[in-house]
Structure 1
């Protein structure tokens, strides 16, 4: 009768030789999974405060390589919230195109307060709608003015413009779509009174007002569902906080910093340049 006996245990030296590796390799414990878990926690913390951040902005926030951020996000299925599709505006359907041209298409700017783009959006709230109108500086990407109302009319967009003009110099051009609010005589006369040229996207061409389209897409996503806020006052307060967050904390992909930080840098550069020019002028005057 044959008896099966267990093979004698091999030493680590014999096992390493059989596998064709060094004996030290048998003691190696990979560090990458541990690093990935640590980075996962850091990414989740950033995403908790910045719900729309993709791998690029997360890499900037954590000061890591974007490919590493993307790899870890894919490994642990970490995804930013999806953007909502923009709703239609039935009131504007069937209106004849305006004669006002698109003045901003292809234009290159290198300073603030040249072009402001404007639009409004609506938020569903307990069977009704709350409307938000904003104006954004194309160069700094700052939201320079905004207004909230339970009605989308001319007052909504004119008040947003007046709010912006309280804090910033009038731009050369104010761009919008061809919504009825921006086509109104009241709004166009207000622009004229501040020597602001009106500019409009072609009809049914939302990509020609892409800055505002992009802003609202991220704004709604990060605000969350409006009915999370029990009262209208709480909702408006949350919208104000979200605009402040966008201007002062949220990293803009085109700027690689928040818009307000970028605007401060530009203002400081201009101030420094002006001081240097004054010093040179004074020196030249003294030498004469």
Structure 2
């Protein structure tokens, strides 16, 4: 077999050999980045994980030191590139794009205690040694099991749809699927798949961090237990390490909220009880 890093192997063939989507192939830092931007993006991500209500002004203030001032415009530009925004309420944020309908939030007051009752999804930024990638994951809300995930070098819709289809074909359809109002999840390409499987669509309210709290906790756990402890040189290296971590998370990490079961144990045992 030809090594995936061989210069004569096409990107498509490398992705095939690795078992990842074309969008998952790492191409290095995006064009337009300035000197020091990658390091600053890492600092923004760490601070944002702890304080998602912070906007560009607050982040710039907290990131500025006497030796290195950080401007708000620069932080705003990098936040846009990272796909994050302040979760504090703002006027006019509920305006809907006519081609991307937003669905109501269906989980308020709902007791979620069964596998495949509610799934949730989100995208997060992953720093690399010389660039960055985006990670999407789909989680079973009631058992915290990560059902599927995908990496991408762009904030497109395709890698989200691929993750969704994988979860549906492996585990069947949930009753409700919850996401934020990001354009990837409100797109026709994404919602049409859910409709084909007769899944009810739920979307977080703007500025409602707690509406999707469990997958936000997943990102914090992943980044502080693995991502921030390592430096990834290539997308292949990141992909392999994430594969190991998600396998451990599902099969080895016990949750107090699950009576000290792993997500896999909780998912499959509760499926049997529900049968």
TM-score class normalised by the smaller sequence: 0.5 to 0.7
Partner of 1:201: 204
The residue correspondences of 1:1-288 to structure 2 (distance < 5 A) are 85-86=48-49, 90=80, 96-97=95-96, 99-225=102-228, 228-255=231-258, 256-270=260-274
Whether the 8 Å contact between 1:92 and 1:179 is mirrored in structure 2 is no
Whether the 8 Å contact between 1:122 and 1:131 is mirrored in structure 2 is yes
Q: Distance in 1 between matches of 2:240 and 2:102?
A: 38
1:92/1:219 CA distance change after superposition, 3 Å: closer
Shift of 1:240: 1.0
Partner of 1:17: none
Whether the 8 Å contact between 2:136 and 2:163 is mirrored in structure 1 is yes
Greater relative contact order (Cα < 8 A, sep 6+): 2
Partner of 2:12: none
Segments of structure 2 that go 5 or more residues without pairing to the other structure are: 1-45, 56-78, 86-92
Segments of structure 1 that go 5 or more residues without pairing to the other structure are: 1-82, 272-288
Whether the 8 Å contact between 2:130 and 2:233 is mirrored in structure 1 is no
Residues 206-215 or 225-234, more deviating = 225-234
Partner of 2:3: none
Q: Distance in 2 between matches of 1:147 and 1:220?
A: 16
Secondary structure (helix, strand or coil) at the match of 2:132 reads: strand
Shift of 1:84: 5.6
Shift of 1:258: 0.9
Secondary structure (helix, strand or coil) at the match of 2:48 reads: coil
* Superposition CA RMSD, Å: 2.3
1:218/1:92 CA distance change after superposition, 3 Å: closer
CA offsets, 1:246-268, max 9 Å, x none?
11101112112211112232234
CA offsets, 1:184-203, max 9 Å, x none?
12111111111111100101
The structure that is helix-richer by fraction is 1
Whether the 8 Å contact between 2:118 and 2:176 is mirrored in structure 1 is yes
CA offsets, 1:189-243, max 9 Å, x none?
1111111111001012121110110111101111133862332111111011111
Q: Distance in 1 between matches of 2:128 and 2:95?
A: 31
Partner of 2:18: none
Larger radius of gyration: 1
1:119/1:250 CA distance change after superposition, 3 Å: same
Q: Distance in 2 between matches of 1:108 and 1:95?
A: 26
